[in-house]
Amino acid sequence: MELIILGSGTGVPSLRRGSPATLLKAENQSILLDSGSGTLQKMLQAGVTYKDVDAVLYSHIHPDHCADLVPLIFACKYQEDPRTKDLLIIGGSRRSPYGQGFRGYFEELRRVHGSWIEPETFRIHIREVVADEAAIGDLQVTTLPLEHAPESVGYRIASPQGRTVVYAGDTDYCPNIVELARGADLLLLECSFPEGRKVQGHLTPSLSGRIAQEAGCKRLVLTHFYPPCDRSDIRGDCQNVFDGEVLLAEDMMRIAI
Ligand SMILES: [Zn+2]
Ligand SMILES: [Zn+2]
Interval between CA 246 and ligand 1 midpoint (Å): 23
pLDDT at 79: 96
Interval between CA 121 and ligand 1 midpoint (Å): 32
pLDDT at 98: 77
Ligand that lies nearest to the alpha carbon of residue 146, given by its number in the listed order: 1
Interval between CA 14 and ligand 1 midpoint (Å): 17
Interval between CA 239 and ligand 2 midpoint (Å): 23
pLDDT at 97: 79
Contact by Cβ (8 Å): 188, 22: yes
Q: Let me know how many helices (H) and strands (E) the chain has, helices first.
A: 7, 14
Give mean pLDDT, residues 182-195: 98
Of 204, 210, 238, 200, whose CA–CA distance to 224 is shortest?
A: 204
The alpha carbon dihedral of 125, 28, 162, 168 has a sign of: negative
Local confidence band at 95 (pLDDT 50, 70, 90 cut-offs): confident
**Coil vs helix vs strand at 139:** strand
CA 216 – CA 233 distance, rounded (Å): 23
Interval between CA 2 and ligand 2 midpoint (Å): 22
Give mean pLDDT, residues 65-84: 98
Interval between CA 48 and ligand 2 midpoint (Å): 23
Average pLDDT, the chain: 97
Burial 82-120 (b: 16+ CB within 10 A, else e): ebeeebbbbbbbbeeeebbbbbbbbeeebeeeeeebebe
Interval between CA 201 and ligand 1 midpoint (Å): 8
Ligand that lies nearest to the alpha carbon of residue 60, given by its number in the listed order: 1
The answer to whether residue 93 scores a pLDDT higher than 80 is yes
For residue 169, which phi and psi values (nearest 5 degrees)?
Answer: 65, -140
Interval between CA 209 and ligand 2 midpoint (Å): 19
Interval between CA 169 and ligand 1 midpoint (Å): 8
Interval between CA 81 and ligand 2 midpoint (Å): 32
Interval between CA 218 and ligand 1 midpoint (Å): 26
Spatial CB neighbours of 204, under 8 Å, sequence gap ≥ 6: 191, 192, 193, 194, 195, 196, 197, 198, 237
Contact by Cβ (8 Å): 154, 167: yes
Q: Decide the pairing of beta strands 2-7 and 139-145.
A: unpaired
CA 190 – CA 176 distance, rounded (Å): 15
Q: Tens of pLDDT along 194-215?
A: 999 999 999 999 999 999 999 9
Contact by Cβ (8 Å): 177, 154: yes
CA 146 – CA 144 distance, rounded (Å): 6
One-character DSSP codes across 216-236: T-SEEEEE---GGGGGS-HHH
Give mean pLDDT, residues 144-160: 97
Interval between CA 224 and ligand 2 midpoint (Å): 7
Local confidence band at 88 (pLDDT 50, 70, 90 cut-offs): very high
Local confidence band at 161 (pLDDT 50, 70, 90 cut-offs): very high
Q: Tens of pLDDT along 41-59?
A: 999 999 999 999 999 999 9
Ligand that lies nearest to the alpha carbon of residue 20, given by its number in the listed order: 2
Local confidence band at 99 (pLDDT 50, 70, 90 cut-offs): confident
Ligand that lies nearest to the alpha carbon of residue 65, given by its number in the listed order: 2
Local confidence band at 20 (pLDDT 50, 70, 90 cut-offs): very high
